Amino acid sequence: DALLPAPQNISILSTNMKHFLTWSPVIIQGETVRYSVEFQGEYEREYANESWIPICECSLITATVCNITEDISATVAYNLRVKADVGARRSEWGTLKGFFNRITTSLTPPLMKVIADGYHLLVELEDMGPAFQFCVLYWKKGQESRMQQKVVKEVRSVVHLDTMEAGPDYCVKAQTYVEAINRSSSFSQTQCVRAQGGRSMWLV
Amino acid sequence: LCRISMSMTEIRSGFSAIKANIQARDPIRTLSILSYPHSLHKVKSSDRCCITHQLFNFYVDKVFKHCKTEDSYVNRKISSIANSFLSVKRKLRQCHEQNKCMCGQEPTEKFKQILANYEGLNVTSAAIKSLGELDILLDWMEKS
Residue B92 inside a domain? The answer is yes
Residue B52 inside a domain? The answer is yes
Local structure of A119: helix, strand or coil: coil
In which band, very low, low, confident or very high, does the pLDDT at A31 lie, cut at 50, 70 and 90?
very high
Express each pLDDT in B23-67 by its tens digit.
999 988 888 999 988 888 888 888 999 999 999 999 999 999 999
Residue B31 inside a domain? The answer is no
Average pLDDT taken over every residue of chain A = 93
Residue B25 inside a domain? The answer is no
User: Given A42, A130, A180, which is nearest B83 (Cβ)?
Assistant: A42
The domain that contains B50 carries what CATH number?
Answer: 1.20.1250.10
Q: Which residues of A touch B83 (CB under 8 A)?
A: 41-43, 73-74, 76, 78
**Is the dihedral angle over the CA atoms A56, A59, A61, A63 positive or is it negative?**
positive
> Residue A200 has what pLDDT?
40
Residue B108 inside a domain? The answer is yes
Query: Shortest Cα distance from A126 to chain B (angstroms)?
Result: 20
pTM as predicted? 0.89
Q: Which residues of B touch A74 (CB under 8 A)?
A: 7, 10, 80, 83-84, 86-87
How many residues in total does chain B contain? Answer: 144
Q: Is B14 on the interface with A (CB under 8 A)?
A: yes
Q: How many CB atoms lie within 10 A of CB A79?
A: 18
- CB spacing of B86 vs A43 below 8 angstroms: yes
Residue B28 inside a domain? The answer is no
Express each pLDDT in B72-118 by its tens digit.
999 999 999 999 999 999 999 888 888 888 888 888 999 999 999 99
Residue B50 inside a domain? The answer is yes
**Within the 100-119 window of chain B, which residues sit less than 8 Å (CB to CB) from chain A?**
none
Q: Is B132 on the interface with A (CB under 8 A)?
A: no
Residues spanned by the domain of B79: 45-142
Q: If phi over 0 gives left and psi between -120 and 50 gives alpha, with beta otherwise, what is residue B80?
A: alpha
- Contact by Cβ (8 Å): A1, A28: no
Distance CA B141, CA B8 (A): 9
The count of structural domains within chain B is 1
Residue B80 inside a domain? The answer is yes
Cβ-in-10-Å burial (0-12, 13-18, 19+) of A157 comes to exposed
How many residues in total does chain A contain? Answer: 204
- Contact by Cβ (8 Å): A40, A28: no
In which band, very low, low, confident or very high, does the pLDDT at A197 lie, cut at 50, 70 and 90?
low
DSSP structure class, residue A134: E
A83 or B40, greater pLDDT: A83
ipTM more than 0.85? yes
- DSSP state letters, A43-83: HHHHHSTT--EE-GGGSSBSSSEEE-TTT--SSS-BEEEEE
